[in-house]
Amino acid sequence: MTLQEYDYARESPSKLAASCLLLALTMKNLGGWTPTLEYYSGYRARDLHPLVKKLNFLLTYQPRDKLNTVRSKYSHRVFFEVAKLAPMDMLKLEKALTSC
C-alpha cells in the first residue's frame, strides 16, 4: 500500500520493512521486537515507533476508492486474508509499542 503513497518514498526500504514487521507482530499479538530482530535489521524498536504509527494510520484512514486491486488480491486465502485484518486502535498501539 505504501508504494502508491508519496509520503513513504523518503523512507528507506529496510526501515519500512522493519516497521511493517513490527506492526504485524503487534497486530497479531505475536510478541515484540526481539534482540535478534534488532541485530539483523539494524533498528531499535523505539526508532521504528513513529513509522509504525504512520503505517497504522494509513490502514485506518485509507481512502476506499484507492488500491482496490491490492485489497482484493490480499483478501484471498492464498495470502491469509491479511487485507481483512482490522487496523489497531491508536491508543492500544501506543500502549503496545511502549511495552516493547
| Domain spans in the chain, listed from the N-terminal domain onward | 2-99
Three cell numbers, residue 76: 484471498
CB 4 within 8 A of CB 10: no
Output helix, strand, coil percentages for the chain, rounded to the nearest 5: 65, 0, 35
pTM reported for the whole predicted model? 0.84
In whole angstroms, what is the distance from residue 81 CA to residue 18 CA? 21
Task: Write out pLDDT tens, residues 29-82.
Answer: 998 899 999 999 999 999 999 999 999 998 888 766 666 787 788 889 998 888
CB 31 within 8 A of CB 25: yes
**Res 65: pLDDT:** 64
CATH number among 1.10.150.110, 1.10.472.10, 3.40.50.720, 1.10.3720.10, domain 2-99? 1.10.472.10
Rounded mean pLDDT, 13-19: 97
Q: For the CA atoms of the chain, what is the radius of gyration? A: 14
Sorting pLDDT into bands at 50, 70 and 90, what band is 13? Answer: very high
**Res 99: pLDDT:** 81
Rounded mean pLDDT, 16-24: 96
**Res 64: pLDDT:** 62
